[in-house]
Structure 1
Amino acid sequence: MVAKHYAEIFRAPGSKGFSSAAFVGRLPMSMLGLGTILMIKESTGKYALAGVVSGTLALVQAFFGPFLARLVDRRGQAEVVFPMLAASATALVALMLCVRFDEPTWSWFASAAVAGAFMPNVGALVRARWAKIYTGTKRLHTAYSFEAVMDEVVFMIGPILVTFLTLQVHHEAGVGLATALLVVGTTAFLLQRGTQPAPHPHEHLTGPAAIAIPGMRVVLVCAIAIGVMFGSVEVVTVAFAEEHGHSDWAGFLLAVYAGGSFVAGLIFGAVHWRMPLARRIMILLAAVLVTAAPMALAPNIGVLALVLLLAGFAISPTLITLAALVEDLVPAARLTEGMVIETTGAALGITTGSAVAGWVIDKSGAHTAYLVPVAGSALALLTALLGSRWLRAGDPAIE
């Protein structure tokens, strides 16, 4: 039954091709942050410095992402994203070389900033293509759910790959593979021009930016807070495994976390919910907080694996609902811009969480640092509660 629901969305011409390419193109989103941190940590021994460099990439991406997304909506995906891809990939190569040859740290920050400024947000681009095909139908919920599940597969594979390559092969190997996947996957995605959304040049001449919509500001803060949770869990779990003498288990623990989210996302996406989006997001964010809280109490790797599995069950449904809120809140002419705000907010939160968690690990150890993801999930729930009236405005139930 679940497979049947997902098979239906791929009846649209070209859908298998662009979704497959997007999967490869966004594998780096689960690799670059952690890979940069591990690469610099292995070279310098400093988690905090590694987190700040990685955070620079995400912070600049968060600042420039919405502006570039507006340009994508206005002029088209391929025309804008190909130059972005070239600039970002070149900067990532420069970052690896600067770390490898111990260049001044300002060059690390400069390379990370350029890489982030022009980083293509493939997740937003692929969701915009699904919206073009299925806006106003039940299948859009299923399509968004499928992409959220693919995100979880990405987060199952990516951390394992980048941890193994960086720690076992070469310090720059993880970021190097991520860069290659970004180039190959995004290029294959952009070459499929028949399915890209039509540009909306005239609609952008009037009306507010997507971030000016009150509900989108609520979504942005929630996405950042949830990202803080993701990013900190990644770094703290690696440190937790190291502190317990099993650093090689870090990738497995992160895969368990993503695995719980993967299963929940598959089931959630196969159901067409009648509950209004605003109410649904409150319930899901409460579940995220309740399941995150026990992380700080886990005494060993076995217990932590079980806690991470349970915590993962709340993740995909929450991300699916946030994407649905964006599609509900912003006009079609600004859909890519809206999606980028949500996904870039999550990326910013991930790297912020990594940096904060790295600092706490250096000061107090991994057990204490698990309070960072708990704080992130609490902030997300509080934000949604305080901004609930803006999320309800014009919010239809998904039938």
Structure 2
Amino acid sequence: MAARPTVESPVVVDTPSAPARVGYGTLLRTPSAWTFLLPAFAARLPYAMLSMGISLLILGTHGSYGTAGTVVAVAAVAQALVGPQTGRLADRYGQAAVLVPSVLVHAVSVGALIALALGHAPVWTLFLVATPAGATVPQVGAMVRARWVAKLADRPAHLNTAFAFESVTDELTFAVGPVLTAVIASTVTPAAALIVEATLTLVGGLAFAAQRRTAPAQLVREPGTRQASALASPGVRLLAGVFLGVGSVFGGMQISVTATAEAAGQGGLSGVVYGIFAGGSMLAGVLYGLIAWRRSAQQRMLGSYTLLVLGCSTLWAMPNLVTLAVAGLVCGLAIAPTLITGYTLVETLVADGAKTEAFTWLTGAIGLGLAVGSTVAGRLIDMGGPWTGFLVPLAGSGIGLVALVTLRRLLVAPGTESRTVARSGSAMTSLVGASEH
């Protein structure tokens, strides 16, 4: 049943008999899209470099997987907690106003972390500078998704493809970032890898912030009103919890793959193995975005997350890097469909003035899960060897699946059954539901 429009004028309701299919070529021909996509890629690539770069740097200077995992965790927790607040500020004051100071502080903080690690400073000082380094990681992925929402609010099929494209881009960064980090760290130094990370963040972030014409409009609040947080939605809270499990897969995989490669005397291959894992996700994301799905987003979320748990269940038993790479590839095939569907669902659960914040809560949840996953995996590896670290992705994703199955009804936007577009002159109200994503 179509949702009742909120405008009092003639309404045109488009209810196709089958879901529309929009190709990536059509999406990328959206006017002005490339002006923000290219700098955004440069600015978000470092997100996939930071944690591995910190791990390799601390391993080289302090010699402990536990310490390396904990420093990564401190940065990731800071990012997870502060990131949504920057998203909220971006919704209110504009993306550039938040992004420019963030990338400047990030570059300085990473530089301080490098200097302290190379100087064999006490571990607590590493925590001290890892906090602002993580807190100022630019939320470019969420900002790009908010720009797509602003441009494609009247074209739901295009928006679904845009979310698929963004998840593929995320996975491309996670395929390229760790490999680039490992290559620079092994051929130059781990410090050089983090210098590249900070430079890309600074240059890409400033270039992205300069594209103000494609940025979503700032939220204008009426006097005396207060904007509700995106986290006030039970569905957003559920998705954030579920994405914690996805983050634990990332965190557990990164530190465990590194430990496995080091134990095999092939530390330089850690980025390659992890890149194959991310490559599987990227491949699945490309295919996912090309399909005109008939099943609801809730059903797709449950299916992809179940496949993620099944894929994680084999990682701990792999006897060598080759079999681990194959298992990681299979596991990665479930990542992008889960992320794409999660971002599709969360967009239906919040008002326009809170979308950047909502996307950032999911990104932050992944970062927090990465923090917990890398910390726990690092401690397990120090105690029991590399294989024990792979129990973390299985446990984290398993808990997420239980929450998803139990509370999945929260993912239906209140009062909506389908996506309907109501038009009145130039005004357009998009009423979003899960069933046609």
Q: Same fold (TM over 0.5)?
A: yes
What residue identity is the alignment partner of 1:300?
Answer: N
Where 1:154 maps in the other structure, the secondary structure is: helix
Return the alpha-carbon distance in structure 1 between the equivalents of residues 280 and 316 of structure 2. 19
CA contact (8 A) 1:33 1:351 kept: no
CA contact (8 A) 2:221 2:227 kept: no
Residue 158 of structure 1 and its aligned partner are, at CA, apart by: 0.7
Residue 362, structure 1, aligned to residue 388, structure 2:
no
Between the two proteins, the alignment pairs up a number of residues equal to 397
Q: Which residue of 2 aligns with 1:232?
A: 252
Which segment drifts farther, 280-289 or 251-260?
A: 251-260
Residue 206 of structure 1 and its aligned partner are, at CA, apart by: 2.7
Q: Which residue of 1 aligns with 2:124?
A: 106
Percent identical across equivalent pairs?
36
Return the alpha-carbon distance in structure 2 between the equivalents of residues 398 and 263 of structure 1. 23
Residue 171 of structure 1 and its aligned partner are, at CA, apart by: 2.7
Where 2:190 maps in the other structure, the secondary structure is: coil
1:305-351: CA deviations, max 9, x gaps?
Answer: 21111111111111101111111111110000001000111112112
Question: Which residue, out of 184, 189, 209, partners 1:170?
Answer: 189
Return the alpha-carbon distance in structure 2 between the equivalents of residues 30 and 60 of structure 1. 16
Q: 1:243 to 1:196 in 2, by over 3 A?
A: same
Where 1:172 maps in the other structure, the secondary structure is: helix
The equivalences for 1:47-86 within 5 A come to 47-86=65-104
Q: 1:299 to 1:331 in 2, by over 3 A?
A: same
Return the alpha-carbon distance in structure 2 between the equivalents of residues 265 and 43 of structure 1. 37
Q: Which residue of 1 aligns with 2:346?
A: 326
Backbone CA RMSD of aligned residues: 1.6
Q: Which residue of 2 aligns with 1:273?
A: 293
Question: Which residue, out of 88, 91, 96, partners 2:114?
Answer: 96
CA contact (8 A) 1:75 1:201 kept: no
Residue 207 of structure 1 and its aligned partner are, at CA, apart by: 4.5
Return the alpha-carbon distance in structure 1 between the equivalents of residues 202 and 106 of structure 2. 9
Residue 253 of structure 1 and its aligned partner are, at CA, apart by: 1.0
Residue 203 of structure 1 and its aligned partner are, at CA, apart by: 6.6
Residue 312, structure 1, aligned to residue 345, structure 2:
no
Return the alpha-carbon distance in structure 1 between the equivalents of residues 285 and 190 of structure 2. 33
TM-score by length of 1: 0.96
Residue 253, structure 1, aligned to residue 273, structure 2:
yes
Q: From the CA coordinates, give the structure whose radius of gyration is larger.
A: 2
Residue 167 of structure 1 and its aligned partner are, at CA, apart by: 3.1
Residue 234 of structure 1 and its aligned partner are, at CA, apart by: 1.3
1:229-282: CA deviations, max 9, x gaps?
Answer: 111111111111222232232222112111111111101011132222222111
Return the alpha-carbon distance in structure 1 between the equivalents of residues 396 and 222 of structure 2. 36
Residue 43, structure 1, aligned to residue 81, structure 2:
no
CA contact (8 A) 2:22 2:161 kept: no
TM-score by length of 2: 0.88
CA contact (8 A) 2:52 2:178 kept: yes
The equivalences for 1:137-148 within 5 A come to 137-148=156-167
Q: Which residue of 1 aligns with 2:369?
A: 349
Listed as ranges, the gaps of 5+ residues in structure 1 are none
Listed as ranges, the gaps of 5+ residues in structure 2 are 1-20, 415-432
